[in-house]
Structure 1
Amino acid sequence: PVSIQTVVRDEDGKETDEKKWEQINKAQALWTRNKADISDEEYQEFYKHVSHDFADPLVWSHNRVEGKNDYTSLLYIPSKAPWDMMNRDHKSGLKLYVQRVFIMDDAEQFMPSYLRFVRGLIDSNDLPLNVSREILQDNKVTQSLRNACTKRVLTMLERMAKNDEEKYQSFWKEFGLVLKEGPAEDFANKEKIADLL
């Protein structure tokens, strides 16, 4: 925690000689908190911090999974496409945390390239803390997390298409071209992606 010394004021608003220490960074890792305790505004502010975007996200999904793999994911679909989205070589991906320790930005191993617009993070308890890119590529946990995150994003898009057509049209206008790459790239989810086209 970071604290600063502040001046104490009396009832009239005048400064006194008394000083008090006040904690200025009350932040806790948002994804570690219970979903019910987090407001939409907090999710939106966190998105802006993670993605360096000024606009609010279209939708997000916050999940804590325990079982075969133990992880937390916080995935956002932006409202506007980044300027370099059509560049397939551009590094993009989720922020990777292992046991709440930041490991890397742009961990592209957790999202297929047709979902390169997705922002957010994944915090896994099953990966080693000294993880490297090579370990991530050959790791069964990584593949399992990638499949789960991909299904989560496709489910978010299906719900949006079904429940909020106007919002989905906005999404399609921004990201439709990239999503069209999906059926050729991801045979396992070909049907789900085709339903979104």
Structure 2
Amino acid sequence: MNEHEALDGARQADPEFLAELQTALHDLMPDLRLVDRGLVLGAESQEAGSMGEEMPEPSIGDLLVDWVAVDPRGRLNLVVWLGSDRSQLPAEPVDMALEILHRSRRQWPFILRHLGPQGVRAESEPRLILVATHFTEATVRKLAVLGSDRVGLLEVHEIRTDSGASHHLVHRWPLQGEGEPGGPDAFLLHLHQELRPLAQSLLQRLQRVDERLVLLGS
């Protein structure tokens, strides 16, 4: 079974199954605040080139973001269930991730306007969370290049007994407690984008002061 296959064909379009996934997402990541569902990122049919010529139409059609949520830092999280039944799904999750991130950047002002006052930080780029029954090691390695601040991977785990089945989400990458930077990097990540250059300069100066103190102490 690859990343695009649901647990079975009937569940792909089952609203009850999607509702169960939404509950599982809240259980796993309770800090995420759901603000909308079913965000369609449309394909840009034609773009003007550098000399005004028309560019060819993209090969990927509309892309569906199943859930739109905001984290405590005000960053928008786009959650996509890869088992959903949709047309023109990219052949690889990596293609889908890159295309969604690209389209969300291009359509960012319109997305913010549509969502309204939801506490989204306009200067922070959205994070993509892909949900699937399984991600191959090769897919994880490719998506890890984008960084955990841009992409997260969740897998669906099924528990089945005679009384029925239940589904839960687990972190595939990054693992819980891993991937997020610590120390100065975490400090810079939480700042507004306009303040980061100044803060980075101050941190570098403090580091030089610490190095001098170590030399004097030795």
Question: Scaled by the length of structure 2, what TM-score is found?
Answer: 0.27
Q: Which structure carries more relative contact order (alpha carbon 8 Å, separation 6+)? A: 2
Question: Scaled by the length of structure 1, what TM-score is found?
Answer: 0.29
Indicate the structure with greater helix content: 1
